[in-house]
Amino acid sequence: MRYAANLLVVSDDRENNIELCLTGAGYHCKRVSFPDMQALNFDSDVFDLILIDGDNNKGGVDISAIAKVADENEFPVLLIGKPNIRCRIQTISSGFCDLELLTRVGALIRLENMQQELVRRIETTKSYGIDLTNTSIPNQELGDTNILIVGSKSVILGNILLRLDARAKMQICKNTEEAIPNLRSQQFDAVILSGVGHGDSNLRLANDIRSDSRLFNVPLIMVLENAENREAAYIHGVSDIVLHDTEMDTLINRTTLQILQYRYRFAMQKLFRVSKPHPIADGPTDLYSSGFMQAHLATMFEEHEKRGKVLSVASFKITNLDAVIEAFGYPSGDQLLRQVGSVIFNLVRGEDFCGCHEKGHYAIALPGTREKEAKVALDRILGVIINTEFSVSNNSASIQAEVSFGLAEVDAGETVSGVIRRGFDYVAKDEKAA
């Protein structure tokens, strides 16, 4: 069985509720006690994340020593409990809700998936003889970034400004109605919402941002005055939360984590733009070519199989493409292909790979993602495509793309064409049964 990620849970409590929550979400958990953790050989197991249950450290083991070992071995760490060590690791407070734990773990796993995918994509691109000397890995520090802070309470605003990197450019927006226009007119790396706002205005703003195809990838961090609003914040699309009374010192770490995901997304988009003049791009769709996709996904399949991690592949096929070409000509068909390709390119997550499988047929690989979660992303993309009116030449009226889709998790030894074909067969059978 494959998993979304392999997690190491360090806890002296065999009955901890951490593992139950995470295994239910598709993660594989291995638990060790704090004494056993100190003797663990990192070379013997492959983990994507270490969770330190600081609330169940019965022997009083030095957590900072464990964090140091993890850092030396470049393992992401999430500390559960009071953040009583001075280091750049992510934390989660006692009394967290399941949704908060899943979101925090998911963010760390997503960042690791992005880091692995960028390295993998650079290597595939180099195999085409493209010089990537000037391509660099995103800066890991917060540094010179643009952050929009939304809120009007001076105490909370002051504490937010105090905790962030002094090099960051921060703009304060006290009226939530002005936030969307600000985000559309300028380039921001993150948005920090000061509380839920009057009448839940910031929750509604978060929902509006997530509903905007141009803005929904922007990181949203909410500083909460009331811990009871945790779950509501996540439901409305907030990327992460910080409790004002107890967690303000974690603000910079959590903001940095979200911005790093944003940077990796743009790094992969930049890599594609740099390499587009070379034979890796498909002209009509303006996505990676079928040849590049076949070579790249073969490596992705192999690495995920080796690590026992799940990988889903989704695909879209424009079923009325021939009708559009017959009615309006080949240029109109190419215009439709490029516009649909642009929608997909802008809606996929940073770690996802999208390319052209064959004419009128797009494929998306979603690393570390089960079919259940991939279906959510697929539905969002499909919804935008079928509800968008596209403009093509030789036609004064707009047209719509009619789309069929497929989705499946990759099996051991499976080819790209095989999993795409199986995904379409599965969806067709499921629709017929319904």
Tokens of 405: 């889709």
Closest C-alpha among 11, 43, 4, 2 to residue 30 = 11
> Whole-number mean pLDDT of the chain?
89
| Each residue's pLDDT tens digit, 314-369 | 999 999 999 999 999 999 999 999 999 999 998 899 999 999 999 999 999 999 99
Closest C-alpha among 176, 29, 171, 51 to residue 105 = 51
Residue 394: the pLDDT is 81
Residue 85: the pLDDT is 54
Residue 83: the pLDDT is 63
Average pLDDT estimate for 278-287: 92
| Each residue's pLDDT tens digit, 190-225 | 999 999 988 899 999 999 999 887 888 899 999 999
The amino acid that residue 221 corresponds to is I
Which stretch of DSSP H or E encloses residue 86? Answer: none
Residue 136: the pLDDT is 85
Residue 41: the pLDDT is 67
The amino acid that residue 96 corresponds to is F
Residue 393: the pLDDT is 85
Rounded CA-CA distance 112/393 in Å is 43
Compute the residue count for the chain: 434
Rounded CA-CA distance 124/231 in Å is 40
| Each residue's pLDDT tens digit, 100-117 | 999 999 999 999 999 999
The burial of 131, by beta-carbon neighbours within 10 Å (0-12 exposed, 13-18 middle, 19 or more buried), is given as exposed
Residue 84: the pLDDT is 56
Most confident range (mean pLDDT) of 39-43, 77-81, 119-123, 395-399 is 119-123
Residue 431: the pLDDT is 54
| Each residue's pLDDT tens digit, 142-163 | 888 999 999 999 999 999 999 9
CATH architecture, domain 104-268: 3-Layer(aba) Sandwich (3.40)
Is 240's pLDDT higher than 70? yes
Residue 133: the pLDDT is 86
Residue 143: the pLDDT is 83
Residue 385: the pLDDT is 93
Rounded CA-CA distance 205/348 in Å is 22
Rounded CA-CA distance 32/51 in Å is 10
Residue 426: the pLDDT is 63
Of 42-46, 175-179, 259-263, 390-394, least confident by mean pLDDT is 42-46
Q: Where are the domains of the chain?
A: 6-95, 104-268, 279-433
Q: Does the fold of domain 279-433 match that of domain 6-95? A: no
| Each residue's pLDDT tens digit, 68-103 | 777 777 778 899 887 655 566 788 988 888 999 999
Rounded CA-CA distance 260/301 in Å is 25
For the entire predicted model, the pTM comes to: 0.89
| pLDDT cut 90: percent of the chain above it | 67
Domain at 6-95, CATH class: alpha beta
The burial of 208, by beta-carbon neighbours within 10 Å (0-12 exposed, 13-18 middle, 19 or more buried), is given as middle
Domain at 279-433, CATH class: alpha beta
Closest C-alpha among 311, 255, 281, 272 to residue 113 = 311
| pLDDT cut 70: percent of the chain above it | 95
| DSSP tag of 354 | E
